[in-house]
């Protein structure tokens, strides 16, 4: 069997792919946000795994902590934007909001 580091990295990779899949396929903006959180978590797993096995030590923990901080800020702002979109369109299906085309 492979070593433990690789196992953690594989979990991270699968989580990442699931997140990307979610972002691409889900209609609802909030679902997209949730998928994004999955991606961030996969990154964090990598950080912590390298912290233990790869010699990153506490640097990895700090990096993970900043990722969590940024995720919190990102969700707050993103949800505010989603609410705003909801006020304007009465729905939050981002595939129908294609003003970017123009």
Partner 1 sequence: MSHDLLLKISVVILFLPLLSFLIIVFNQKRLGKAAGIIGTSILGIDLVLAAIVAFNKFVVYPNEAIIQWKFHWFSLGNRTIDLGLGVDNLAAMMLIVVTLISFLVHLFSTEYMSEDKRFPRFFSYLGIFTFSMLGIVLANNLLNMYIFWELVGLSSYLLIGFWYEKDSASNASKKAFITNRVGDLGFFAGIMIAFFTFNTFMFDEIFSQIRSGVLPFESGTILTAMGILLFAGAIGKSAQFPLHVWLPDAMEGPTPVSALIHAATMVAAGVYLTAKIFPVFTADALTFVAYTGAFTAFMAATIGITQNDFKRVLAYSTVSQLGFMVMSLGVGAYTYGFFHLVTHAWFKACLFLASGSVIHAMHHAMHKLHDHHSDPQDIRNMGGLRKTMPKTYLTFLFATIAISGVPLTSGFLSKDGILAGTLAFGNLSGHWLIPAMAFISAGMTAFYMFRLTIVSFFGDFKTEIASKTHENNTQIVLPLVVLAILSLWVFYSFNPIDASSGWFAKAFKPVETVVPAEYQFDFMMPYHDAHATESTEVSHGSHSYLNKFEEELHHQHYTAMFLSLAIAGFGILLSFIFYYYKKVDPDKVANSIKPLYLLSYNKWYIDEIYQKTFIGGTILLTKLMFWIDTYIIDGAVNGVAFIWRIFGTFVGKFDNGVVDGLVNLSGGVVGFSGSIVRKLQTGRVQTYLLLSIIGVILLLWWLF
Partner 2 sequence: MNWYNIVFYLFALIVLVSAAGVVFSRKMMYAAFSLLFTFFGVAGLYVLLNADFIAVTQIMVYIGGILILIIFGVMLTSKFTDLEIKSGTTGTVQYVLAGISTIIVAAALIIMYLNVDWVQNPVPELESTVKPIGILLMTKYFLAFQVAAILLLLAFIGAAKIARRK
The footprint of partner 1 (CB under 8 A) covers: 20, 23-25, 32, 94-95, 98-102
Site for partner 2 in 23-42 (CB under 8 A): 24-31, 33-35, 37-38, 41
Mutual orientation of helices 29-53 and 4-25 as an angle, nearest 10°?
Answer: 170
CB atoms within 10 A of CB 96: 9
Q: What is the nearest approach in angstroms of partner 2 to the Cβ of residue 75?
A: 5
Task: Give the contacts of 86 (CB within 8 A, at least 6 positions apart).
Answer: 92
Between 4 and 102, CB nearer to partner 2 = 4
Asked whether the beta carbons of 85 and 77 are under 8 A apart, the reply is no
43 binds, among partner 1, partner 2, none (CB under 5 to 8 A by kind): none
89 binds, among partner 2, partner 1, none (CB under 5 to 8 A by kind): none
55 binds, among partner 1, partner 2, none (CB under 5 to 8 A by kind): partner 2
Asked whether the beta carbons of 9 and 46 are under 8 A apart, the reply is yes
């Amino acid at each position: 069997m492979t070593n433990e580091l690789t196992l953690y990295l594989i979990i991270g990779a699968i989580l990442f792919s699931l997140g990307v899949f979610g972002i691409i396929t889900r209609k609802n903006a909030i679902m997209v946000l949730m998928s994004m959180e999955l991606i961030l978590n996969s990154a964090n797993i990598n950080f912590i795994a390298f912290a233990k096995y790869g010699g990153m030590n506490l640097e990895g923990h700090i990096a993970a902590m900043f990722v969590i901080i940024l995720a919190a800020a990102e969700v707050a702002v993103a949800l505010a934007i989603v609410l705003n979109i909801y006020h304007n369109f009465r729905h939050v299906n981002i595939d129908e909001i294609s003003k970017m085309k123009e």
